[in-house]
Amino acid sequence: MQRGLLIILSGPSGVGKGTIRKYFETDERLNLAYSTSMTTRKPRAGEVDGRDYFFSTREDFEKAIQEGGLLEWAEFVGNYYGTPLKEVNRLRDEGKNVLLEIEVQGAIQVQEKCPDAISIFIIPPSMEELERRIRGRSTEPEEIIQQRLAKASNEMKMVSQYKYIVCNDDPKLAAELIKTIILRHVELEENK
């Protein structure tokens, strides 16, 4: 069986990664499995442990780092986020194409370790629109929104680190573009 692809989806907080993902992740042709990350961030209303994230303490997260249990990890606006390595390997060995939704520092680590990873960066139509979206979502207090927006400006400077850049103006169109990218890579892999 062919090993599954590794797909990285990044982009500033509030750009619409989660929204777009919902439009394409259930498409069976993509044969996707979402990699659930570990984080020390507190759950938002409606988030489920083990589905949206594995919510953890800083102590447990640091233990996972020390034990080499993470493919990559980063600190983002005061919290740790990381990708459990075992699960990614298990899913890829089963032939699943694994989707990581991670920030820029983590994406760079993954690309160093797995140069074949397909990296996609989602940009907003403008920084004003990004601000409207992150505020409109109302999931963070003002202080954290400010920190995330400052972070976003720096993240936008890293677009050249990615293989593909997709603008999220219309989320369905962005999802279609991402589907096309993944399907083409699946096809290339099959013809290897």
Ligand X SMILES: Nc1nc2c(ncn2[C@@H]2O[C@H](COP(=O)(O)OP(=O)(O)O)[C@@H](O)[C@H]2O)c(=O)[nH]1
Q: Binding site membership for ATP: which residues? A: 11-18
Q: From residue 104 to residue 133, what is the string marking binding to ligand X with x (rule CB under 6 A)? A: -xx---------------------------
Selected range binding ligand ADP among 44-52, 69-77, 132-140, 159-167, rule: CB under 6 A: 132-140
By CB under 6 A, residue 17 contacts ligand ADP: yes
Angle at 167 between CA 102 and CA 109, to 5 degrees: 25
In b/e form, how buried is each residue of 65-86, taking b as 16+ CB within 10 angstroms? eeeebbbbbbebbeebbbbbbe
Query: Where in 169-188 is the site for ligand ADP (CB under 6 A)?
Result: 169-171
Taking the C-alpha atoms of residue 81 and residue 99, their distance in angstroms, rounded to an integer, is 15
By CB under 6 A, residue 145 contacts ligand X: no
Tell me which of ligand ADP, ligand X, none is bound by residue 5, counting a contact when its beta carbon lies within the kind-specific cut-off of 5 to 8 angstroms: none
Give the dihedral sign, CA 48/52/58/63: positive
By CB under 6 A, residue 147 contacts ligand ADP: no
Residues lying near ligand X in the complex (CB under 6 A) are found at: 13-14, 18, 37, 41, 72, 74, 76, 81-83, 101-103, 105-106
